[in-house]
A and B are shown apart, each in its own frame.
Chain A
Amino acid sequence: MKKIKYEDIGSILNPLKNLQFFARKPVTEPLGPRPAAEIYRGFHLNDMEKCIGCSTCQKICDNAAITMVKVPHLKNDPVNGIRNLRPAIDYGRCCWCALCVDICPVGAIELSREYVHTCNGDEVDSYFMLPQEKGMHGTVEEKGWTKTETNDLLDRHRQKMGEMAPEERVDNFDEIVDGFTPEQAVLEASRCVQCGMCHDSCPTHMHAPEYIRAIWKGNVEEAVEWMYETNPFSHVCGRVCTHRCETACSLNQTGLPQGSEPIAIRWLKRYAMDAVPHERIKEIAASKKSATRTGKKIAIIGAGPAGLTAAFDLIKQGHEVQVFEALAKAGGMTRYGIPYYRLPDDILERDVDVILSMGVKIQYNTRIGKDIAMEQLHKDYDAVILAIGLQSGRSTRIPGSDHKDVHSAVELLRKIGSVRDDIKAEKDPGFEIPRSAVVIGGGNVAMDIGRSLARYQKQQYGEVNMTITAIDAMENFPADDVEIKESLEEGITIIPSRGPQEVMLENGRVKGLRTWKVISVFDDDGRFAPQYDESDEQLFEAEMVIEAIGQMAETDLLGEELTEQLEWQRGRIKVTEDGATSVDWLWSAGDCVNGPDVVHAVADGHRVAESINEALSVER
C-alpha cells in the first residue's frame, strides 16, 4: 500500500488526474429491477399444500407481522397434524429476517428473490398478503432464502430414553423404559413449538402445550394440574397411550434431510406424574370438586377407564356414584389386558386411588345381570352407564379352532392379569405354558400376549418359541412400530401375509397352524375379502394357538327385555354422540362403543358424564 505522509501538503493538480475517467467505459445499470442474489430475503412464498398451519412462524416473528388466516377450502385435520390456517404477512411490519423460514417445522414458508412492490396511496391493503407458492404477484420462479440443514432452528431429535436391553427384559415383567430424568424432561419439553396440534388431536383434548410448557419451566405441579383438567388416567396414559398427539405433532415430519421426531409427549406426561408426590396429586384432583351435593345417584357398570373417568367427573359435579365391577380389581383392560412390563400394576393403582379418594365407591366381584339385575339398577339409580369394554375375543372359526388349546388372547391376558393380582408370582400364570405357540393377529393385543408368553417360556424353558402371524403385510400391521420392534428384539418370529386355514390336530393335541400366502386382503371395493395363493402353504408347528383378531362386548347382562328395547347398530348398542342410548336412563361408554383405546375411553367417560349431568340438571 502506498503510504501517505501527514506532512504531505498534496497537490492541487492531483484531482485532475481523474480526467482519465473520460476515457474509461462508463458504468451503466439497466432500468429494470436488478436480479437479486440466490439467497435473497425478499417477499414470502408459502407452499399451501405443505404448510400445516401450525403458526410457529407467527410465534417467532419478532415484529408481530404474521396473522394466521383460516382458508376454508384447505384440509383441516388436526388428528393428522394439519390445520387450515395459513400465515398472512403484513409488509408494514415484516423486516425480512427470515426467522420464520428457519423455524418452520415443515419447510413450507420460504422467501423469494422478489423485492419490488408498490401501489397507489389508497391501496395500502395490498401490503397485507397471503403468500402462495408463486409469491405475491404470482410471478415468482426462483426461491431466495430457503430452509437448509444449517439454518434450521428446531431441535429435531428426541432425548434418548434409557431402556432395558432385550436380553435383560425377556425373562421378567419389569417395566422396559426408565422414564426421563429431570434434565431430559426439560430438554425434551423445550423442543415444543406450542402449536397445539396435540391438543386438537387428543380424543380427550389434553392440554399438552400447557403442560409441556410447565415441565419446561420446571413446574411439574402445574403440569399435573393441567393434566387433571382432562384426564384422571394420566399415569396410565403416560405409559400406554396410543399417543395420537405425537402423530399429529408438528415436529413429526418425514422428508427433511435432518429428520424430525415428534415431542415425546407421552413420556413427558409420565415424567410429570411420577415427579409429583401421590398425596399432592390427590389434592390437585380434589381441588376441583364441587362443594354442593346434587342428591342424584348414578350407577356405573365396569371399573375401567371409561367408567372411572365418568365416575370422577360426576363426583366432581356433586353426584353420588356407585361403580360395579365384575372382577376383583379396578382398571378394566388396563389391568387385565395390558402386560406388566408396559404398565406396572402399582402405577395403575395410583390413578385408581386418586379417583377413589374423590369419594367414588366400587363394588367388586359383582356381575350385573347375575348378581344384580339391570332392572334393579334402573330402579335404584337416576342414571346408569354401561362401560363394560370388550371382554371376549373373536374367533377365526377355522377348523380346529374350537380345540381346548386354542385360546383367545384377551382371555389369556385376563388370566395372567388376575393371577398377578393375587400372588404377585412372576412364574405361574395359572395355566400351562406351551413350549411353542403361534399367535394369529397383528395388533397390539397380539404383541401383548406373544411377548407375555415369551417371557414365561424364557423363564420355564430357557428359550422363546413364539410366532406371530397375521393376514396383513408387515407395513400394515395395526400394532405400534415400537411393539413390533421390541417383539422382534425379544426373539419372537413375526410372519406377515399369512392366512390361517386350519388348526392341525394330532392325537387330540394341537400340532400347528396351517396357513396360506395372502395375495390381497381387500377387494376392489375396499371390503375385507382375502385372496390366497393356495400353492404356498406353510405349517407353523405349535402346542398352542392364540387368536388375537379382535374383541367383542358381552352384552348378555342387559337381559332380553332391555336388549329388545335398545337400538343396535352392527352388533353394538347404538348411541348418540354424547353416549346416550335409545333408553333414557342408560348411557354407554368406552371400548364397547368405540373399540379398544384407553384415551378414547377416557374421552368417552367425560362426554357421558357431561351428558348425564346435563340431563339430570334439566330434571331438577
Chain B
Amino acid sequence: MNCEEINLWLDTLLAEIEEIEVTRKSERRVRVDVPASSLPALLELLKGKASYVHLSAISCVDWPDDEEFELVYHCWSYEAKSLLSAHTRIPRNSAQEFAHYVSVYDIYKPAAFFERDIYEMYGIYFESSPYMEKFILTEWNGPPPMRKDFDAEQYVNDTFNWADYHPQWLQELEEDGGGIAVRPEDIRL
C-alpha cells in the first residue's frame, strides 16, 4: 500500500468507530478525538490494520476546570508517513486518589514508559500496565507534581531559602541610604 491508499483506508476505518471526530491538520498530521471507551479499539485498528506501528508518545494534559485529564496518543506510520494524535479525556480525581484508565501496553510496548511517567506525574493508574511504580520521583511522597494544583514555585519557596548575599558594595550603598529595592521574587510575571 502506498501513502494515499493507507490514508484512504484510514478514513474508512475511522468512520466505523462511534463518536469519533477526525481533523486533518496538515498533510502529515491527523487529530482524532475519541471517547475513552473507544480508544484502545482505535489503537488496535491503527496498529493492526493501518500501519501505525510506532507509538511516538503519550502526553497527558491536566484540565482541572473541566475535571478531566486529556491523554494524547501520538502514533506514527512509517508507511503512510503520517502522525495521528488520538485525544481522549478521562475523569480527573483529587490528588489523594488516582484517576484510572486502561493500559495500551499490549498494543504498544513503548506505552509502558509513558504510562509510568503519567502515573508518577499526574496520578493516573493504568490498569494492567507492567510498571505501575515509582521511577523518577522515588523519594517523593507529595501529590503528583505535574497536576495543576501543585504549585512548584510555592513548594520551593516554602522548602528552601533564598541565598542572602551581602557584599561590600551593597553595605556601602546601604550606608548612603540605598540598597535592595526590588527582589526578583516580588515581580515574577
Contact = CB atoms under 8 A, between A and B. Distances in A.
User: In the complex, A touching B, CB below 8 Å?
Assistant: yes
Interface of A: 55, 58-59, 61, 64-73, 84-85, 88, 90, 92, 124-130, 194
Contact of B173 (A58, A71, A124, A126): A71
Contacts of A92: 163
A85 B184 CA distance: 13
Contacts of B187: 55, 58-59
Centre residue among A70, A71, A84, A129 by max chain B CB count within 10 A: A70
Interface residues on B, range: 20 to 34
Given A61-B184, A130-B169, 15 more contacts: A55-B187, A58-B182, A67-B182, A69-B173, A69-B178, A70-B177, A70-B178, A70-B181, A88-B170, A88-B180, A90-B163, A90-B165, A92-B163, A124-B165, A126-B167
Contacts of A67: 180, 182-184
Contacts of B179: 69-70
B185 interface: yes
B90 to A, nearest CB: 31
B173 A72 contact: yes
Nearest to B183: A67
Contacts of B66: none
Contacts of B166: 125
B165 A127 contact: yes
B188 interface: yes
B139 interface: no
Contacts of A55: 182, 187
Centre residue among B167, B176, B177, B179 by max chain A CB count within 10 A: B167
Interface of B: 163, 165-170, 173, 176-185, 187-189
Nearest to A126: B167
Contacts of A70: 173, 177-181
A72 B173 CA distance: 7
Nearest to A91: B165
A65 B162 CA distance: 11
A58 B184 contact: yes
B167 A71 contact: no
B167 to A, nearest CB: 4
A73 B184 contact: no
24 contacts: A55-B182, A55-B187, A64-B185, A64-B188, A67-B184, A68-B182, A69-B170, A69-B178, A69-B180, A70-B177, A70-B178, A70-B179, A71-B173, A71-B178, A72-B178, A85-B182, A90-B163, A124-B165, A125-B165, A127-B165, A128-B165, A128-B170, A130-B169, A194-B189
B184 A65 contact: yes
Given A125-B166, A127-B165, A64 B184 contact: yes
A129 B173 CA distance: 12
A58 to B, nearest CB: 6
Contacts of A69: 170, 173, 178-181
A128 B181 CA distance: 15
